[in-house]
Structure 1
Amino acid sequence: MHEPLTILWHDAHAIAVYKPAGWLVHRTGLDAGETRFVVQTLRDQIGQHVYPVHRLDKGTCGVLLLALHSAAARQLSMAFAGHAVRKRYLALVRGWAPDTAEVDHPLRPDDALPDAPAQSAHTRVQCLARLDWPEAADPRFPSTRVSLAEAWPTSGRRHQVRRHLKHLAHPIIGDATHGKGPLNRWWAQRLGLQRLWLHAWQLEVPHPETGAPLRIDSGLRWPPVAEPLAAPTLPPSAQDWQRLLCLPGWERRGG
């Protein structure tokens, strides 16, 4: 049995949970060995059918919204398809990211044919903080630099945040597809675990019944508060993030 999912918000129409890193949203034949699924676990946890209306990658943790009946599922799915949703992500990225950036870079679906047209995709990026780690992952440099970046995707292409940060030459630490394996392993040794450092921080969507703005927050704090106060109320993968944000040496940039 898995630990119960942390419920961030719910009413009669929808429910938001904290998706742990390493969990799939629902069963898929592409990852037949996985046993942790949000849809099935939440259904059993609350004794009610749930309807996924968007997805997060397996490695991504944070806010995941699901509908509780078919009419709400239709409304929420239309909101996501119509780009009426605001999503904010946090990412730990390689190097010192620019203070702000606009990435307007079309993306071809991962499983598309080579001659398939790319689809428009846009992401805004802001650097929240930089960290100069006093050890060298690369012998050419005396230290190793990372940044805490905030990303707002205004379109909803698959793996968009990961691919756009790679396009900026600042791939997410722990991204096995778009990053560098040796650097990912180096950081895993320093941070104590191997994972994708991408966090779905906040989601704002029209309520499926009233249309009023509904904003759901994961509970992660930036700037961080003292860890002993914050960590006990957070799910384990959020505690991983809170410990990261509490490392000494972060130089705040903005946000």
Structure 2
Amino acid sequence: MKELIINKNDSGQRLDRFLKKYLSKANQSFIYKMIRKKNIKLNNNKAKPETTIFEGDTIQLYLADETIEKFREEIKIEKSNLDLDIIYQDKNIILINKPVGILSHSAKKESSNNIVDSMVYYLYEKGEYNPKVEKTFTPAVCNRLDRNTSGIIIGAKNYPTLKVANDLIKKKKISRYYKTIVKGGIKKDKIIEGFLSKDEELNKVAITHNKRQDSKEILTSIKLLNRSSHYSLLEIELITGRTHQIRAHLASIGHPIIGDMKYGDTITNKYFKEKYDLQSQFLHGYRIKFNKTYGVLAYLKGKEFIAEANEKFIRIEKELF
């Protein structure tokens, strides 16, 4: 018999979901069968799959060590050569300024030089994360940015933080602001509306003014920061957060982002590539604000964090405006 003591990083979830992560190679029917046959108990009592487990609870696994080993997946920490640009961190949260060209999450054919794996490795090296102690939790990020969009990524060092931060983002209690330069002159601040549908095969979205069966409503807030004869410097706030929303939405109203190879203007992109070697969209998630918080992140209420753009973006902005 093996006994597991639930810690704060496993607390607050359903028993069956915890077991599916702990015995990650086992199928759901096996886990349900073991619970039903009392081969898995909670606090030495008959358990129910939907029961919420809390810190201090104990789970008894009346399974052979070989069976547990067979269904367990070893957590491997991949060494990362990525030098993280950390703009803030404390015992719960870590804010990382993601550069252009780096993935937020790992991909099958990619190396460990993505934000998630690099963050896990960084916390492992610091001694803040130990996979041998944790049963199911791995540090995770709460938001994503496109590969060629730079800016602030919110990382959670523990499960309570991950749960609260995800909830705050979902309920729009954390405001996320992006800085971008678009073609053409935008005259005033405004909120633009539309409907977004995604083509999974092409990894591209389309914006329409009328709702389609597969489309989702989008709202994008535009604040004019500066304007020249040919370009506008904008601050964008995502009211809804959909795939490629900012890029596609701005392009749909005739103001594509400079450098955007997927939704941008070919002639404009060619000019900026030749003059500045700009090979990605000028889009930087430069500012976040914790408007309302609670629980483990209550102390961040009203706090604002800013991440500086790369040197190329800074140079383009200065020369255009």
Give 3-state SS (helix, strand or coil) of 1:55's partner: coil
1:180 correspondence with 2:252:
no
Alignment partner of 2:216: what SS? coil
TM-score (norm 2): 0.62
Question: Quick one: which amino acid aligns to residue 271 of structure 2?
Answer: W
How many matched pairs?
218
- Where does residue 115 of structure 2 map in the other structure? 38
> Residues 158, 61 of structure 1: CA spacing in aligned structure 2 closer, same or farther, 3 A cutoff?
same
Deviations 1:144-203 (A, max 9, x none): x22211111111111111122112210111111111234212211111331210000111
Residue type of the partner of 2:221? R
Report the structure number with the largest CA radius of gyration: 2
Pick aligned residue for 1:103 from 192, 217, 228:
192
Bigger relative CO (Cα 8 Å, ≥ 6 apart): 1
Q: 1:242 aligns with which of 314, 317, 320?
A: 314
The alpha-carbon deviation at position 116 of structure 1 amounts to 3.6
3-state secondary structure, aligned to 1:106: strand
Q: Which amino acid aligns with 1:13?
A: N
Structure 1 residues 208 and 55, CA, compared in 2 at 3 Å: closer, same or farther? farther
Q: 2:27 is matched with which residue?
A: none
Report the CA distance between 1:34 and its aligned residue.
Answer: 6.2
The CA deviation at 1:35 is 5.8
Find the counterpart in structure 1 of residue 251 from structure 2. 166
Show the counterpart of 1:24: 103
The residue type paired with residue 198 of structure 2 is: P
Q: Mark the runs of 5 or more structure 1 residues left unpaired by the alignment.
A: 133-144, 221-236, 251-255
| Alignment match of 2:305 (pick from 216, 219, 232) | 216
Q: Structure 2, unaligned stretches of length 5 or more?
A: 1-79, 130-137, 207-211
- Is it true that 1:7 corresponds to 2:79 in the alignment? no
The superposition leaves residues 52-110 of structure 1 with CA deviations (integer Å, 9 ceiling, x where unpaired) of 11101111111111100112111111111222221111111111123222201121234
What do residues 211-243 of structure 1 show as CA deviations (whole Å, max 9, x unaligned)? 32332211x3xxxxxxxxxxxxxxxx6222222
Following TM superposition, by how much is the alpha carbon of 1:208 offset from its aligned partner in structure 2, in angstroms? Answer: 5.6
CA RMSD of superposed structures (Å): 2.4
* C-alpha distance in structure 2 between counterparts of 1:204 and 1:246, whole Å: 25
2:200 & 2:174 partners in 1: Cα distance?
25
> Which range is displaced more, 182-191 or 34-43?
34-43
> Which secondary structure state, in structure 1, belongs to the residue aligned with residue 119 of structure 2?
helix
2:235 to 130, 150, 162: 150
Instruction: Say if 1:16 and 1:65, in contact at 8 Å, map to a contact too.
Output: yes
- Kept in 1, the 8 Å contact 2:82–2:114? The answer is no
The one-letter code matched in structure 1 to 2:232 is S
Q: What code does the residue aligned with 2:182 have?
A: V
Aligned to 1:51: 140
Moved more, 108-117 or 149-158: 108-117
Task: For 1:209, give the aligned amino acid.
Answer: V
Instruction: Give percent identity, aligned residues only.
Output: 22
SS in 2 for 1:80: helix
Pairing of 1:46-125 with structure 2 (within 5 A)? 46-47=123-124, 48=129, 49-111=138-200, 116-125=213-222
* Residues 256, 264 of structure 2: 8 Å contact kept: yes
Q: In the alignment, residue 125 of structure 1 is paired with which amino acid?
A: I
Measured in 2, the distance between the counterparts of 1:101 and 1:175 equals 22
Tell me which residue corresponds to 2:289: 204
Task: For residue 240 of structure 2, give the secondary structure of its aligned residue in structure 1.
Answer: coil
Structure 1 CA distance for aligned equivalents of residues 139 and 294 of structure 2: 16
Q: Sort the Cα spacing of 1:196 and 1:35 in 2 relative to 1 into closer, same or farther, 3 A.
A: farther
